[in-house]
Amino acid sequence: MTDELPDGLPELRASDADREQVSEVLRDALAEGRLDMEEFEERLEATYKARTYKELAPITRDLPAPGVTPPPVPTVSMVKGPAAETGSWADRIVGSESCTSQWGVAIMSGFERKGRWTVPRKFNAFAFWGGGVIDLREANFANGEVVVNCVAIMGGMSVIVPPGVEVVVRGIGVMGGFDHREEGVQGDPGAPRVVVTGFAFWGGVGVERKVTKAERLRQKEERRLEKLERKAARQEELEESRRRALEGSGSGVGDVDHRDSLDEARSIHRAAMDQHRELMREHREARREERRERRDDRRGRDRD
């Protein structure tokens, strides 16, 4: 319905098959990010209200027609396995002689240890009216068991460990506390053990388990591919339904069979719409999770 219409044709009445063709173009545009959910619903409502080709034509005028390939867009592979980035656990336990940092100190300020660095057998951290972040997700380890000793006086620290690492918390809090939520999780074979100790007075030490950014992107890519597969399956169902409807309309069997075919097509379309809404809810949840992570990062920088 995106081509320019000959003179006189716009006043012709549109069929259900025509409206379904337009709705398919809209669904493709939604899945590709050309339309947001609000625009999609507005145009879809206009599609099913349209009675002539003249009313249908503007709905998809700014969208690619079915079978027309848009100009190519440079692609970047976001699939990066964590093993390629950080190596196996055996490769990451490297010995104490290669340690890159022994201390972290924040006095009315902040510090951060993250990225590729080597955790010593004992890493000491001190914060007074300040904060620190000790991120072990991409780190190497001097030994199979390392100790992170945190002293927080009217301040706070965050210890971030990757999945697969066993965590033991032995800190003492006075009008403060240590986070014990990550204890009790069985570590992977060969993975290091992280012991969090120390003292918190009017402060706190948090321990959280997070995947690396590369792993999070890989998981997001997997979810995207799954959504594309579900979308392709739904399109096949709709194509089959439309084919049956068109065969029914041209076979002369009768209005009853034709209506049954159209009812089936509409039913499949409604199911597809429900699935689209579910995908959009998942997308919004992912965006909220990203915003929470950015907010946590900003709070960590503010503490610094």
Nearest by Cα to 265 from 235, 300, 241: 241
Over residues 276-291, the mean pLDDT reads 74
Contacts of 96 (CB under 8 A, 6+ apart): 120, 121, 142, 143
Once rounded to an integer, what is the mean pLDDT over residues 39-61? 85
pLDDT of 182 higher than 60: yes
Nearest to 126 by CA among 189, 185, 200: 200
The mean pLDDT of the chain is: 77
Contact between 14 and 56 under an 8 Å Cβ cutoff? The reply is yes
Residue 85 is predicted with a pLDDT of 45
Q: Report whether pLDDT(35) > 80.
A: yes
Evaluate if residue 158 carries a pLDDT over 50: yes
Exposure letters 85-106 (e unless 16+ CB within 10 A, then b): ebeebeebbbeeeebeeeebeb
Mean pLDDT check: name the lowest of 46-55, 90-99, 241-250. 241-250
Percentage of the chain modeled with pLDDT above 90: 17
Name the residue with tokens 């900003």.
298
pLDDT given at position 115: 86
Mean pLDDT over residues 83-96, rounded? 68
Better-scored residue on pLDDT, 142 or 214: 142
Encoding tokens for residue 164?
């697969």
